[in-house]
Amino acid sequence: MRPRPARVPFDPRRAGGRPGSEQPPLRADRLDAAAIQAGLRTRWLARTLHLFEEVDSTNRVAQELARQGAVPGTTVIAESQSAGRGRLGRSFFSPPHQNLYTSIVLHPTATAADASAFVLAAAVAVADTVAAFVRDPSRVEIKWPNDVQVDGLKVSGILLELGSDGARVAHLVMGIGVNLNAPRESLPEEFRGRASSLRSCLGAPVDRAAFVRDLYERLEPILERCAERGFGGVLPAFEAHFRMRGRAVRVADLAGRTQDGVVTGVAPDGALRLRTGAGEIRVVAGDVTILKEPA
């Protein structure tokens, strides 16, 4: 996963946002790529950094960069997205100058089946960063597979997309969105009951540049560990934020079929283990709803 030294040429006019929008003028409420990199203690992650005022989707831009030969760790940040995407085809609410929307190009030697482990590994880095900012790890948890929550409310989501070369995984693009400074009351009504932001959780605004640097510095080593040892090497860190064991859940697969069960843990390959009436099963993908406890 170490990068080659060459920097990839890129035309910001093709990014799906406003022409010439790379590196927007610095203002108090805007991120600045040079300032982020100046204090960044990573070896390869975000050493090549593209920052845009607006794009359609940071994942789409990062995919384009990857197809052009972007080095591992090439990173995209946007101040806003006009068509941000979440898991299972959902939209991702992306107001300007408030949150973090970033995507990272990776080149691990992984199969498509193994790639999902990087999502869970990234969730650990996000959870660790959020815990450092709220200063109370007990408030932070990972809802399998990759939603990071504070006090039971979602503050972050992660989307992994693969680029393939025939049967081989050519690259991965890791998209991470974190609600930092958008007030909870500004979220779309359908999200307000289950989502929040760090600002709303803390009662004070978050230094976005500091959060970005902290996240990248935590993300780099955990992605390396996942690449070298698989999810088993990340599992103890994941378990530190995993509080679903013993909870009753309903899992919907991509076809909409549901299965109820009680969570018994997470397998070394990242699968969710459920105890059902028919015995224990493994869930490798799906949408999980935590069921209310009986009164």
Give the CATH number, domain containing residue 279. Answer: 2.30.30
The reply to whether 164 and 227 lie within a common domain is yes
Are 148 and 126 contacting, i.e. CB atoms less than 8 angstroms apart? yes
Paired tokens of 260: 């109820």
| Euclidean distance between CA atoms 208 and 13, whole angstroms | 26
| Euclidean distance between CA atoms 280 and 274, whole angstroms | 5
Classify residue 22 by its DSSP letter: B
| 3 domain-assigned | no
The reply to whether 230 and 276 lie within a common domain is no
Are 178 and 158 contacting, i.e. CB atoms less than 8 angstroms apart? no
Contacts 24+ apart (CB under 8 A), 164-167: 164/112
| Euclidean distance between CA atoms 156 and 196, whole angstroms | 9
Which domain covers residue 151, as residue numbers?
12-239
Name the domain count of the chain. 2
The reply to whether 212 and 256 lie within a common domain is no
| 7 domain-assigned | no
Global pTM value: 0.86
| 68 domain-assigned | yes
The reply to whether 35 and 58 lie within a common domain is yes
The reply to whether 161 and 269 lie within a common domain is no
Residue 158's nearest CA partner among 211, 202, 118 is 118
The domain that contains 170 carries what CATH number? 3.30.930.10
| 4 domain-assigned | no
| 1 domain-assigned | no
| 271 domain-assigned | yes
Specify the length of the chain in residues. 295
Name, in order, each residue with C-beta under 8 angstroms of 181's C-beta and a sequence gap of 6 or more: 98, 99, 197, 198, 199, 205, 206, 208
Are 181 and 99 contacting, i.e. CB atoms less than 8 angstroms apart? yes
Query: Tell me, what's the pLDDT at 119?
Result: 94
Query: Tell me, what's the pLDDT at 266?
Result: 96
Are 151 and 184 contacting, i.e. CB atoms less than 8 angstroms apart? no
The reply to whether 222 and 252 lie within a common domain is no
Residue 279, number of CB atoms within 10 A of its CB: 8
Number of H helices, E strands in the chain: 8, 12
Q: Which amino acid is present at 271?
A: A
What's the burial of 233, exposed, middle or buried (CB within 10 Å: 0-12/13-18/19+)? middle
Dihedrals phi, psi of 42, to nearest 5 degrees:
-125, 160
Residue 213, number of CB atoms within 10 A of its CB: 21
Domain C-terminal end among 239, 257, 280: 239
Please give the chain's pLDDT, 295 residues, in tens.
444 333 334 444 444 444 344 444 434 468 999 989 988 999 999 999 999 999 999 999 999 999 999 999 999 999 998 875 544 445 556 677 899 999 999 988 777 778 889 999 999 999 999 999 999 999 999 999 999 999 999 999 899 998 876 667 889 999 999 999 988 877 777 777 789 999 999 999 999 999 999 999 999 999 999 999 999 999 999 999 999 999 999 999 878 889 999 999 999 999 999 999 999 999 998 889 999 865 4
Residue 32's nearest CA partner among 210, 294, 266 is 210
The reply to whether 28 and 57 lie within a common domain is yes
The reply to whether 252 and 235 lie within a common domain is no
The reply to whether 121 and 255 lie within a common domain is no
The reply to whether 205 and 263 lie within a common domain is no
Q: Which amino acid is present at 148?
A: V
The reply to whether 109 and 254 lie within a common domain is no
What are the start-end ranges of the H helices in the chain? 33-38, 58-67, 112-115, 117-134, 189-192, 198-202, 208-229, 235-239
Are 235 and 199 contacting, i.e. CB atoms less than 8 angstroms apart? no
Q: Which amino acid is present at 87?
A: R
| 150 domain-assigned | yes
The reply to whether 218 and 282 lie within a common domain is no
